């Protein structure tokens, strides 16, 4: 390169575009960028709602709802009916069927619904003084406790309920990937892959959410616009409390079985296979030492501070990393696709080295999360405190 | 860097505050790069806007396999290219400036400063005459200081292709220097000082 060009480039590097970048009207650009992003988000929300909007609404239920429901719920229903194109979208699945109730009959969209009533997307379900059991054959059975009001917001694949107040207890058949059931509370979500849990909220104005988990794993986080929730993984047995406005920052959990509310004694319809949470067979990665079996049940005295743990493992970090990689390797993918993942697993450990909480940063796919949790919470480290495990994977 | 990784992960999970922070950190660099590749001030703000909307839309697909800056450059380059293609298909009105920044005026300084500003403007005009592919690698390497291997990732071409484009871009710029009066003098001065024509390839 000539000296003239070298000299010129020195000047150009310093000057070309520098002044212009400074003179950009950033206030205007900022405003436009974020307005477009917000418009995009609204469009996605509209598309998502339209995807799951019902094929047709039933009769005059709207009028009844308008009379009895709280303003927030009215807003949900009115928004739904006004959705452009909603009538064209077919919804093949239902939320389930009311199979029994104790005390007062359940109200669906403000009208009494007896045994056999089918629940659909958009239904507002109220139990008043009674208690209702809903069955979604082969998928889940749920009990709505007295004083509960909830809205069915998603039915295709996963069932999602928006809990306005009260409590929902569910027994969910595990799914191999994705989420089977989720409860939204004021922008937060408790999502499950297969478990027995109860989610409670005192009232519409109360942002405190209480989750009791008897089996399996749940993810707690902000309700996503689309797809699966990315949040804190909680392993049973656990009693969790958090503020819906800040799930990540406020979440507190205890694994003391005595603190976990036992499953309701009410009839749970046995349409599902046995639901004892069984971890997948131990991963067969050569670096992963065979995991010791986890006790199937917890001490009935409920006095233990947390689930009993296997002996401390000096190689726990490599075992966990290997198990996570095995979970990634087991994900289905096309033959001609190379998957490369780099993440760090942050662990919060009890003093005896067993795992209190786990979080991937950056997050991994929900099914990897669920698969990995089974190995992570089985492991016991030879130290307490915290651990950060780098996991790199390539197929 | 770990801080930026966390920020990116949060922004990808639709944390608007995290995205705003990322935006604030990178907007000036993006603006300068857009200006350099666009070949002028026209539509600068529209293109910057489009870059960040695209970044927001695509951030969830950013897997951290490359540096964030590389990925951001790739998005920026693609938006600029799309914009230039669209601009070429638009009719140009006779009184519309052809992407050239004319003297801003108002802050005339010493002669040397004025000459320097004119040289930078003239160089901008030369850049604009390069074909898109050559201009992009030239700007990324010579002005932004990015290595050919990194540029290869940004433009999605083999490193050898990037080096070839760079070679021809330099050669064309050298050849065009004499066509701009403010640059021809500079070329002449250096060629006299070195006693030759100053040709060389790095």
> What ipTM does this complex have?
0.77
Chain B closest CA to A51's CA: distance in Å? 20
> In chain B, what residues touch A29 (CB-CB under 8 Å)?
27, 45, 48-49
Residue of B nearest to A225 (CA): B14
Burial-class residue A275 by CB neighbours within 10 Å (0-12, 13-18, 19+): buried
The pLDDT value given to residue A339: 77
Closest-CA distance, A354 to chain B, in angstroms, reads 26
pLDDT of residue B98: 38
* Residue in B35, B64, B186 nearest the CB of A21: B35
Instruction: Select from B45, B52, B173 the Cβ nearest to the Cβ of A25.
Output: B45
Q: Do residue A37 and residue B143 have CB atoms under 8 angstroms apart?
A: no
Exposed (0-12), middle (13-18) or buried (19+): which is A189, by Cβ within 10 Å?
A: buried
Cβ pair A362:B120 closer than 8 A: no
* Interface A:B, Cβ pairs < 8 A: 127
Q: Is A39 on the interface with B (CB under 8 A)?
A: no
Is the separation of the CB atoms in A65 and A73 below 8 Å? yes
- Which pLDDT belongs to residue A56? 38
d(CA A55, CA A186): 26
What is the nearest CA distance from B52 to chain A, expressed in angstroms?
Answer: 7
B13 vs A223: CA distance, rounded Å: 11
Q: Closest Cα of chain A to B70: distance in Å?
A: 17
> Per-residue pLDDT tens for A327-349?
888 776 666 677 778 888 888 88
CB contact under 8 A, A1 and B123: no
Q: Which of A181-190, A226-235, B61-70, B181-190 has the lowest mean pLDDT?
A: B181-190
Q: Which residues of chain A have a CB within 8 Å of the CB of B194? A: 3
Q: Determine which of A24, A34, A246, A345 to mutate to test the interface with B (most B C-beta atoms within 10 Å).
A: A24
pTM value? 0.42
Block means of pLDDT (10 residues each) for chain B, 202 residues, are 77 82 92 86 85 89 82 92 75 42 44 76 86 91 90 91 92 84 68 51 40
Torsion of CA A217, A221, A223, A228, to 10 degrees: -50
Position B165 scores a pLDDT of 93
Q: Concatenate the DSSP letters of all residues of A363-390 into one string.
A: ---HHHHHHHHHHHTT-BBSS-EEEEEE
Q: What's the pLDDT band for A168 if we cut at 50, 70, 90? A: very high
Nearest to A1 among B117, B189, B202 (CB): B202
Residue of B nearest to A393 (CA): B65
The residues in A 194-253 lying below 8 A from B, measured between CB atoms, are 222, 224-225, 230
> Per the structure block, which two tokens stand in for B134?
């050559």
């Amino acid at each position: 390169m000539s000296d003239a060009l070298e000299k010129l480039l020195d000047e150009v590097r310093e000057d070309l575009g520098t002044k212009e970048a400074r003179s950009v009207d950033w206030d205007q650009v900022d405003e436009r960028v974020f307005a477009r992003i917000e418009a995009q988000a609204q469009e996605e929300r509209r598309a998502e709602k339209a995807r799951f909007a019902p094929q047709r609404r039933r009769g005059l239920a709207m009028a009844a709802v308008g009379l009895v429901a709280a303003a927030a719920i009215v807003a949900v229903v009115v928004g739904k009916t006004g959705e452009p194109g909603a009538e064209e979208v077919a919804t093949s699945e239902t939320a389930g069927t009311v199979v029994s109730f104790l005390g007062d009959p359940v109200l669906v969209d403000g009208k009494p619904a007896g045994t056999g009533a089918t629940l659909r997307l958009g239904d507002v379900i109220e139990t008043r003084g009674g208690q209702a059991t809903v069955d979604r054959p082969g998928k889940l059975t749920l009990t709505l406790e007295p004083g509960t009001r909830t809205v069915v917001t998603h039915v295709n694949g996963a069932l999602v309920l928006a809990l306005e107040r009260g409590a929902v207890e569910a027994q969910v058949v595990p799914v191999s990937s994705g989420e089977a059931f989720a409860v939204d509370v004021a922008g937060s979500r408790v999502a499950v892959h297969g478990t027995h849990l109860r989610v409670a909220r005192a009232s519409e104005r109360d942002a405190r959410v209480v989750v009791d988990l008897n089996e399996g794993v749940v993810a707690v986080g902000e309700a996503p616009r689309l797809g699966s929730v990315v949040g804190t993984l909680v392993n049973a047995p656990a009693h969790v409390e958090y503020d819906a406005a800040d799930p990540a920052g406020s979440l507190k959990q205890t694994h003391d079985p005595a603190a976990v509310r036992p499953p309701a004694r009410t009839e749970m319809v046995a349409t599902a296979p046995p639901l004892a949470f069984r971890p997948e067979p131990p991963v067969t990665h050569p670096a992963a030492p065979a995991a010791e079996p986890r006790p199937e049940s917890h001490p009935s005295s409920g006095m233990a501070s947390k689930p009993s743990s296997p002996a401390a493992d000096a190689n726990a970090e490599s075992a966990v990393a290997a198990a996570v990689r095995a979970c990634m390797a087991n994900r289905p993918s096309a033959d001609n696709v190379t998957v490369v993942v780099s993440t760090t697993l942050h662990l919060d450990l009890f003093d005896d080295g067993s795992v209190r909480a786990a979080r991937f940063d950056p997050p991994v796919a929900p099914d990897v999360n669920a698969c990995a949790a089974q190995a992570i919470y089985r492991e016991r480290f030879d130290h307490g405190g915290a651990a950060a495990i780098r996991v790199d994977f390539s197929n | 860097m770990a801080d930026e990784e966390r920020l990116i992960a949060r922004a990808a999970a639709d944390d608007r505050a995290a995205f705003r922070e990322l935006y604030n950190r990178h907007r000036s660099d993006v603006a300068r790069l857009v200006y350099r590749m666009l070949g002028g001030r026209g539509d600068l703000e529209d293109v910057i806007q489009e870059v960040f909307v695209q970044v927001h839309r695509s951030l969830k697909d950013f897997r951290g396999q490359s540096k964030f800056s590389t990925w951001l450059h790739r998005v920026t380059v693609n938006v600029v290219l799309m914009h230039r293609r669209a601009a070429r298909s638009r009719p140009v009105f006779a009184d519309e400036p052809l992407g050239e920044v004319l003297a801003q005026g108002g802050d005339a300084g010493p002669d040397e400063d004025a000459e320097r500003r004119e040289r930078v403007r003239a160089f901008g005009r030369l850049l604009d005459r390069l074909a898109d592919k050559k201009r992009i690698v030239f700007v990324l390497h010579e002005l932004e200081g990015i290595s050919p291997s990194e540029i290869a990732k940004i433009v999605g071409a083999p490193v050898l292709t990037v080096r070839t484009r760079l070679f021809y871009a330099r050669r064309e710029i050298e050849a065009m220097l004499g066509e701009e009066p403010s640059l021809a003098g500079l070329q002449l001065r250096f060629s006299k000082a070195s006693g030759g024509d100053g040709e060389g390839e790095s």
